[in-house]
């Protein structure tokens, strides 16, 4: 009888520990929240919103990100994400064109000080 009580207590203890381990595993398997998964500016392909040309200066200005062609692009808002997703190749081509123009302006000294937005005729803002 004594052994039966000890055996029952041991089985109950083992089953209780197993349930606790499963509960801990379930918590660990949940996806990260947006804040935890958010990319830092330095991790993005560029600090320029591909859709509208806004220069993203801080991590807080990155409203959303999209993975495309093994790269991560940061966006200033949901409208820009939608614009990009509708035609990523066209959006990236326009981004590269704006970046080349901006680079040329810096070389020629024509860039206005404090200018923070590369103009785009398709700007969703």
Tell me: do 14 and 40 sit in the same domain.
Answer: no
Tell me: do 23 and 78 sit in the same domain.
Answer: no
Tell me: do 79 and 38 sit in the same domain.
Answer: yes
Tell me: do 39 and 23 sit in the same domain.
Answer: no
Helix spans in 30-63 (H): 34-37
Structural domain contains residue 125: no
Tell me: do 58 and 16 sit in the same domain.
Answer: no
CA distance 80 to 77: 6
List C-alpha distances in Å: 50 to 12, 14, 16, 23, 57.
59, 56, 53, 42, 14
Model pTM above 0.85: no
Tell me: do 49 and 16 sit in the same domain.
Answer: no
Tell me: do 25 and 46 sit in the same domain.
Answer: no
Q: In this structure, are residues 50 and 66 in contact, taking their beta carbons and an 8 Å threshold?
A: no
Tell me: do 73 and 100 sit in the same domain.
Answer: yes
Higher pLDDT, 98 or 116: 98
Model pLDDT for residues 9-58, shown as the tens digit of each residue: 666 666 665 555 555 555 544 433 334 447 899 999 999 999 999 999 99
**For residue 75, what is the enclosing H or E element?**
strand 71-75
Model pLDDT for residues 81-110, shown as the tens digit of each residue: 999 999 999 999 999 999 898 888 766 554
Q: Could you list the residue range(s) of the whole structural domain that residue 14 is in? A: 1-30
Tell me: do 38 and 25 sit in the same domain.
Answer: no
Q: In this structure, are residues 47 and 18 in contact, taking their beta carbons and an 8 Å threshold?
A: no
108 contact partners, CB below 8 Å, separation of at least 6? none
Tell me: do 83 and 26 sit in the same domain.
Answer: no
């Amino acid at each position: 009888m004594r052994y039966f009580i000890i055996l029952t207590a041991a089985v109950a203890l083992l089953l209780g520990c197993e349930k606790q381990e499963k509960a801990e595993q379930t918590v660990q398997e949940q996806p990260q929240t947006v804040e935890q998964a958010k990319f830092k500016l330095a991790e993005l392909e560029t600090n320029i919103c591909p859709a509208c040309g806004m220069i993203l200066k801080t991590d807080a200005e990155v409203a959303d990100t999209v993975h495309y062609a093994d790269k991560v692009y940061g966006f200033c808002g949901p409208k820009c994400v939608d614009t990009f997703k509708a035609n990523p190749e066209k959006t990236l081509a326009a981004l590269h064109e704006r970046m080349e123009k901006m680079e040329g302006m810096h070389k020629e000294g024509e860039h206005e000080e404090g200018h923070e937005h590369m103009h785009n005729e398709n700007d969703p803002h």
